[in-house]
Each structure stands twice: as structure tokens, then as C-alpha cells.
Amino acid sequence: MALDETTEKLFRAADASTLLALLPLLRRQIEWTAAEMKRVQAAKEQDADADAQLAEASGEALTALHTRLGDDPDARDAFQGIREKFNSVIGSLGKSDQHFAQYMDDLFRYVVDLTERERWIISEMKRRGYLPFFAGEEQQFS
């Protein structure tokens, strides 16, 4: 992924001290974003575990209630309504998955953009002669 044209123009016009000052800021943001991705993933896994436990407990409760009701038609009708409500609630538990996926995608794109800016600055510092090239690297910048 290359920098967008506006960012590249801005960075090319910046002096070395400005670009170098950006490196620690970019690194902190990269680390924060990586930590946020881990935190969100862990929370999602906890939510999934809680959802599974809730579904299991609800299923057991419905089974026990169904057994206690016996053959009473009015009780069976009431039970059917309760089961439909439970199924509706259980069915809605995973609806936050789309929001989660979008947030993780946004975080991923952000960390890629930050990393690309960091790499660009380091490459530019090499091109300007402030940082040395690694063996064989000079050919990439010629």
C-alpha cells in the first residue's frame, strides 16, 4: 500500500526533523491499535462464550418447563410463546458481528496506513542520506 498523493507531497515537503519527530508518534499509534485489536478480539470471544452459555441454559430451562407442563393445551400455547421469545433473543445475539467486523476492518486499515507512513519516512531518511542503507538496498532507491 502506497501513501496517498496528498500525504506523500506533505511528507516530501517536510524537513528531516519533522519526519523524524513523527516516527515515535506513529509507533505509539501502531502499538495502541494493535492492543485495541487484541482487546476487541478478546471481548468478542468472551461475548461468544457468554452467548453460548446463555443459549445452553435457555435450552435447558425450556426443556424443563416443557416437561412440567404436561398435556395442558393452554400451558402448551403459553410455552410456545415463551419459546418463540427465547428463540428471538438467542437469534439476535450474533447481530453485533457485523459491527465487530467493520470495527476490526477499520482498525486494520488504520494500522496499515500508520505502518506505511512509518516505512515511508524511514525510506525517505535513507534516500536523503540521514540513515544508512542496508547492503543491496541502494538499488531500490536509484
In the structure grid, which three cell numbers stand for residue 14, read together? 517536510
The DSSP element (H or E) to which 84 belongs, if any, is: helix 73-92
Instruction: Report which of 54, 40, 57 is spatially closest to residue 97, judged by C-alpha positions.
Output: 40
Q: Which of residues 50 and 9 earns the better pLDDT score? A: 9
Residue with cell 457468554: 50
Q: Which of residues 46 and 105 earns the better pLDDT score? A: 105
Average pLDDT over residues 70-89: 69
Query: Which pLDDT band holds residue 33 (cuts at 50, 70, 90)?
Result: very high
Query: Which pLDDT band holds residue 138 (cuts at 50, 70, 90)?
Result: confident
The secondary structure of residue 94, as a DSSP letter, is: G
Q: Which of residues 70 and 114 earns the better pLDDT score? A: 114
Instruction: Report which of 25, 58, 39 is spatially closest to residue 107, judged by C-alpha positions.
Output: 39
State residue 56 phi and psi, 5-degree precision: -65, -45
What's the CA angle centered on 85, arms 79 and 87, to 5 degrees?
100
Per-range mean pLDDT, top range of 1-5, 73-77, 93-97: 1-5
Burial class (CB in 10 A: 0-12, 13-18, 19+), 65: middle
| Structure confidence at residue 139 (pLDDT) | 61
